[in-house]
Structure 1
């Protein structure tokens, strides 16, 4: 099974909806990482930042609400209470919403970069 050769309309639709919701919520430095064929965990990973713990938590809540209301997806969420790093697992798409300092510390995107390249 090769991820690149297959179409993933459901995960692509979820990705588009999530990116739109994050944009509406003023997410910063949004990065989408195509993981199809690289892992069985998910098809897409989205990493973004919010300016404060309040904004991070609010963005996560907006994404959660949109997934439930528009796509019938009950996403699993962790970290919303602290607002430093919120993980939203929507199945085919996993979203990480960080405060900038926390994102810089963990550098999650670098884990998925090709050797010597950018995501």
Structure 2
């Protein structure tokens, strides 16, 4: 499965748990850490954990290994490592504080295919 397809699966899992402001950044030209970052946030710790669990569940269903998940207990900033894609699931306050979009401002945004209907 291609990275873009995986990003869309992850974004959809986040959207299903009502994650807010879901964005993906193409990190290929700006960082060696990962090819892509997916960033979103939830409004409370339970929602942040639910988003992380949803990502893990979808990856398990597709046979894609989640290498590591960090920060789950505190649920203020959960990092889900899916190989070439690193997901950052923030509590809203932490997202505003760390502002990864600005920190990695040189990275281009990736269009996401979310199944939102009007």
With the length of structure 2 as denominator, give the TM-score of the two structures: 0.83
Any runs of at least 4 consecutive aligned residues in structure 1 with deviations exceeding 6 A, and if so which? none
In the TM superposition, residue 47 of structure 1 has moved relative to its aligned partner by 0.8
2:18 alignment partner, one of 26, 37, 41: 26
Cα pair 1:68 1:75 within 8 Å, conserved:
no
Q: Which residue of 2 aligns with 1:95?
A: 87
- Number of residue pairs matched by the alignment: 109
1:78–1:88: 8 Å Cα contact kept in structure 2? yes
**Match status 1:37 vs 2:29:** yes
Structure showing greater Rg? 1
The alignment partner of 1:39 has SS state of coil
Shift of the alpha carbon at 1:38?
2.5
Distance in 1, matches of 2:6 and 2:100, equals 21
Q: Which residue of 1 aligns with 2:104?
A: 112
Output the CA distance in 2 between the equivalents of 1:29 and 1:37.
23
Q: TM-score, normalised by structure 1?
A: 0.83
Q: Which residue of 2 aligns with 1:53?
A: 45
Relative to its length, the structure with more strand (as a share) is: 2
Partner of 1:82: 74
- 1:112 CA displacement: 1.0
Q: Which runs of 5+ in 1 are unaligned?
A: 1-8
Match of 2:113 in 1: none
